[in-house]
Structure 1
Amino acid sequence: MGISFLAILFIGFFLLMASFFTVKQQTAVVIERFGKFLSIRNSGLQLKIPVFDRIAGRVNLRIQQLDVIIETQTKDNVFVKMKVSVQFRVIQEHVYEAFYKLEYPHDQITAYVFDVVRAEVPKLILDDVFVRKDDIAIAVKRELNEAMLAYGYDIINTLVTDIDPDIQVKNAMNRINAAEREKTAAMFESEAQRIRIVAKAKAEAESKKLQGQGIADQRREIARGLVESVEVLNEVGINSQEASALIVITQHYDTLQAIGADTNSNLILLPNSPQAASDMLNSMVTSFSASNIIGEQMKNQPKRVKSKDHTSTDYNPSDTSDPNAAS
């Protein structure tokens, strides 16, 4: 009797303990009675009838992520590997459909992702695949929502997280990008060089312009100074020729003095003897005298005048007689 009572007590305690179970947060438990669906229990302490009821399964209600890697071909015949991340969860009100209608949800989602990606990517060239990856993700999400909603799954988001072309294509793209950047850099360097050349040319032109204006102003002032010097010398009885000769000699000695004042100068002025100034003055006076004589001769030379009968006669300006009187 004592052993039987202990056995019954142990069995009763076991059945009592088997009647209670706990459900974690964001989890749903499916209860079956004799293999038939009975109820869905949510988080907390729950009760079931031992032996008659059993826990058929637990359904995760949290957001899950499935990474799908697909290899496909683009419109320009480039093979790429794409990684699509699908974020989904079981709708709490549709736990029954999620548990009983679909046995392998991950395989179902993977199949739909493959179908959509391999239908969209072959329409695009490789460059457009990178640019329009968001459009591909939206198309995957739209297709999955329509298909998985009937099974109690909600597609939260889909992301194209990686696009990996063939290694040879990737190297070619890197070379193209490097060449394009070198081309851009060369264009900028050429433009900078052109700007420097133009700026230098403008600066030189401005410098030449200012230099020319300075030389013109200098010569103008020198001419004014010479005119004033000649006028002052004329006032003391020195004519223009002698004044010019005197100015030349003065400038000659001023030049010699300026050259001698520079200790680092190697310039030698030829001729540079004391007689040079006198020779220069004599040469100038002789030149002026010769030019005056030639001028007087040209003034006194008779002009040839044509008569009415088209005969030419010599006409002397100093002769006051009528050249046509004889006729």
Structure 2
Amino acid sequence: MPIIAIIIFLGVIILFSSFFTVKQQTAVVVERFGKFLSIRNSGLQLKIPIIDRIAGRVNLRIQQLDVIIETQTKDNVFIKMKVSVQFKVIQEHVYEAFYKLEYPHDQITAYVFDVVRAEVPKLILDDVFVRKDDIAIAVKRELNEAMTTYGYDIINTLVTDIDPDIQVKNAMNRINAAEREKTAAMFESDAQRIRIVAKAKAEAESKKLQGQGIADQRREIAKGLVESVDVLNKVGINSQEASALIVITQHYDTLQAIGADTNSNLILLPNSPQAASDMLNNMVTSFTASSIMGEQMKNQPKRVKKTGNHSSLDYNPSDTSNPEEPAK
């Protein structure tokens, strides 16, 4: 009985060891007595126990390998580049991938190093950033030519990072900042020039209008002075006395206007010893002229205006006729 149980037990183990499963996107290499027998794909598979064995499993999914390379550019700048290689095993070439190449990652890394260190030293640092896609294409082309023989397909290669030396990076940042500051200064200068031109045009227009206003004001003042002198001449005041009277009147009008301003702290003082006597003489002259003008106006004949049952007196300095005489 024990022997039969042992035989049954061994038979069950051998039966179960005859079956094995293969996962999706995976290939299994089966050998018989150490020699390649077949490649099994996904699903439930059968092999002869003890005679056949599973030599290995090959992943058919897309894989990614990140390679970091330190190299030098044409302008003697050391940079670190990160190249990501996406690859997979060709399903029809599982035999080559399993038996011809033992360490595929090391092989891919070696080819990436070789291509990058051949392409980057031809370029200056700025061109490395601009032409990184060209470098990736060159890496992919070289890898495809080399790895297809071993049953590998290179799906894509990407230059995912370019890291210059820290000092070079700081210098590049300063250059970029200087360029942006230069552009900003140019825009600010243009804006300042536009504001200055606009302000100058406005000031020119203002000065023009101000000049026209001053000219009109002086013209009206001149007309008023002429009329004032004519009126004073008609009452017997000569031109010199009339001019002195007008000047004194304007002088005191100016003083009155200054004194009327409550916020003014202006104090007027004579600037020469004879200023006081000159002011007194001018005042006496103006008062004398005013008295003469008043006497002349009193001595002018009166004209009676009759309006209905009322009458009024009207002075006419230019009329020398007697109002009591009848009109001829």
The TM-score bracket by the shorter chain reads 0.7 to 0.9
Q: 1:212 to 1:101 in 2, by over 3 A?
A: same
TM-score for both structures, normalised by structure 1: 0.73
1:199 Cα shift? 4.9
Percent identity between the aligned chains? 85
Give the 3-state SS of the residue equivalent to 1:102 in structure 2: coil
Give the 3-state SS of the residue equivalent to 1:59 in structure 2: strand
Q: 1:173 to 1:256 in 2, by over 3 A?
A: closer
For residue 266 of structure 1, what is the aligned residue in structure 2? 266
Q: Distance in 2 between matches of 1:153 and 1:94?
A: 8
Q: Distance in 2 between matches of 1:164 and 1:252?
A: 84
For residue 160 of structure 2, what is the aligned residue in structure 1? 161
Alignment partner of 1:277 is 2:283? yes
Q: 1:92 to 1:19 in 2, by over 3 A?
A: same
- Residues 1-327 of structure 1: pairs in structure 2 closer than 5 A: 2-184=1-183, 187=186, 194=193, 197-230=196-229, 244-263=243-262, 264-268=264-268, 275-279=281-285
Q: Distance in 2 between matches of 1:280 and 1:215?
A: 29
Q: 1:220 to 1:281 in 2, by over 3 A?
A: farther
Q: 1:168 to 1:254 in 2, by over 3 A?
A: closer
State the Cα deviation string for residues 18-62 of structure 1 (Å, max 9, x = none). 111122222111222333333322222222221222211111111
Give the 3-state SS of the residue equivalent to 2:162 in structure 1: strand
> Contact 1:68–1:110 (CA<8 Å) still a contact in 2?
yes
1:226 Cα shift? 3.0
Code of the residue aligned with 2:21 in structure 1: it is T
1:157 Cα shift? 1.2
Code of the residue aligned with 2:65 in structure 1: it is L
> Contact 2:97–2:150 (CA<8 Å) still a contact in 1?
yes
Q: Distance in 2 between matches of 1:269 and 1:166?
A: 79
Q: Distance in 2 between matches of 1:137 and 1:167?
A: 24
Give the 3-state SS of the residue equivalent to 1:170 in structure 2: helix
State the Cα deviation string for residues 198-229 of structure 1 (Å, max 9, x = none). 55544444443333233222212222333444
Code of the residue aligned with 2:95 in structure 1: it is Y
Q: Distance in 1 between matches of 2:231 and 2:288?
A: 22
> Contact 1:259–1:267 (CA<8 Å) still a contact in 2?
no
For residue 314 of structure 2, what is the aligned residue in structure 1? none
Q: Distance in 1 between matches of 2:39 and 2:202?
A: 90
Question: In terms of mean alpha carbon deviation, does 35-44 or 235-244 score higher?
Answer: 235-244
Code of the residue aligned with 1:19 in structure 2: it is S
Question: In terms of mean alpha carbon deviation, does 7-16 or 228-237 score higher?
Answer: 228-237
1:184 Cα shift? 4.7
Q: 1:42 to 1:237 in 2, by over 3 A?
A: farther
State the Cα deviation string for residues 162-198 of structure 1 (Å, max 9, x = none). 2223344334434444554555555555555555555
Number of equivalenced pairs: 282
Question: In terms of mean alpha carbon deviation, does 219-228 or 43-52 score higher?
Answer: 219-228
> Contact 1:252–1:277 (CA<8 Å) still a contact in 2?
no
Question: In terms of mean alpha carbon deviation, does 187-196 or 159-168 score higher?
Answer: 187-196
> Contact 1:245–1:281 (CA<8 Å) still a contact in 2?
no
Q: 1:86 to 1:101 in 2, by over 3 A?
A: same
Q: Distance in 1 between matches of 2:171 and 2:252?
A: 80
1:122 Cα shift? 1.3
Q: Distance in 1 between matches of 2:3 and 2:34?
A: 32
Code of the residue aligned with 2:127 in structure 1: it is D
> Contact 2:245–2:286 (CA<8 Å) still a contact in 1?
no
Give the 3-state SS of the residue equivalent to 1:110 in structure 2: helix
1:17 Cα shift? 0.9
> Contact 2:248–2:282 (CA<8 Å) still a contact in 1?
no
TM-score for both structures, normalised by structure 2: 0.73
Q: Distance in 2 between matches of 1:282 and 1:139?
A: 113
> Contact 1:28–1:61 (CA<8 Å) still a contact in 2?
yes
Unaligned runs of 5+ in 1: 284-327
Q: Distance in 2 between matches of 1:226 and 1:122?
A: 94
1:141 Cα shift? 1.0
